[in-house]
Amino acid sequence: MTDVLAVQTKRRSRLRISKQLRTPLALTGGVIVAFWLLVAVFAPLIRPFDPLAQDFDRLQAPSAAHWFGTDQVGRDVLSRVISGAQVSIPLALMLVIFAMLIGSVLGAIAGYFGKALDETIMRIADLVFAFPTIILAMVIAASLGPSLTNAVIAMLIVSWPAYARVTRSLVLGARNAEYVVAGRLLGNGPFTSLSKDVLPNVVSPVVVLATLDVGTAILLLSGLSFLGLGAVPPTPDWGAMVSDGVQNFSSWWIAAFPGLAILTVVLAFNFLGDALRDALDPRSQEAVQGRAL
Partner 1 sequence: MTLLSLDDVRVTYKLPGRGTLNAVDGVSFDLEPRQVLGLVGESGCGKSTLARAVCGLEPTSAGSISFNGQRIGKLGLRKRDPALMRIQMVFQNPFASLNPRRTIGSQIEDGLRVNPDRDAWNVAQLLEHVELDASSRDRYPHQFSGGQRQRIAIARAIAAGPELLIGDEPIASLDASLQARVAKLMRKLAVETGAALLFISHDLSVVRVIADDVAVMSAGKIVERGPVDRVWTNPQDAYTQRLLAAIPVVDGLGRLPG
Binding characters for partner 1, 21-50, by CB under 8 A (x = yes): ------------------------------
Q: Is 4 in the site for partner 1 (CB under 8 A)?
A: no
Instruction: Write the burial class of residue 237 (CB in 10 Å: 0-12 exposed, 13-18 middle, 19+ buried).
Output: buried
Among 4, 5, 64, 116, the residue binding partner 1 under the rule CB under 8 A is 5
Among 116, 178, 249, 250, the residue binding partner 1 under the rule CB under 8 A is 178
Q: Are 184 and 239 in contact (CB under 8 A)?
A: no
User: Which one of 75-83, 149-157, 174-182, 269-277 is the stretch in contact with partner 1 (CB under 8 A)?
Assistant: 174-182
CA distances from 223 to 7, 85, 133, 155, 217 (A): 49, 15, 11, 11, 10
AA identity, residue 136: L
Q: Is 201 in the site for partner 1 (CB under 8 A)?
A: yes
Q: Is 15 in the site for partner 1 (CB under 8 A)?
A: no
Q: Tell me the closest approach of the beta carbon of residue 2 to partner 1, in angstroms.
A: 6
- Among candidates 214, 194, 255, which has minimal Cα distance to 100? 214
Total number of residues binding partner 1 (CB under 8 A)? 29
Q: Is 250 in the site for partner 1 (CB under 8 A)?
A: no
Q: Is 70 helix (H, G, I), strand (E, B) or coil?
A: strand
Q: What letter would DSSP give residue 197? A: I
Q: Are 36 and 276 in contact (CB under 8 A)?
A: no
Q: Tell me the closest approach of the beta carbon of residue 92 to partner 1, in angstroms.
A: 29
AA identity, residue 111: G
Q: What letter would DSSP give residue 76? A: B
Name which of 45 and 293 has its Cβ closer to partner 1: 293
Among 38, 182, 246, 260, the residue binding partner 1 under the rule CB under 8 A is 182
Q: Is 116 in the site for partner 1 (CB under 8 A)?
A: no
Please state, in angstroms and rounded to a whole number, the distance separating the CA atoms of residues 284 and 187. 26
Q: Is 197 in the site for partner 1 (CB under 8 A)?
A: yes
Per CB under 8 A, residues contacting partner 1 are 2-3, 5-6, 9, 113, 177-179, 181-190, 196-197, 200-201, 287, 289-293
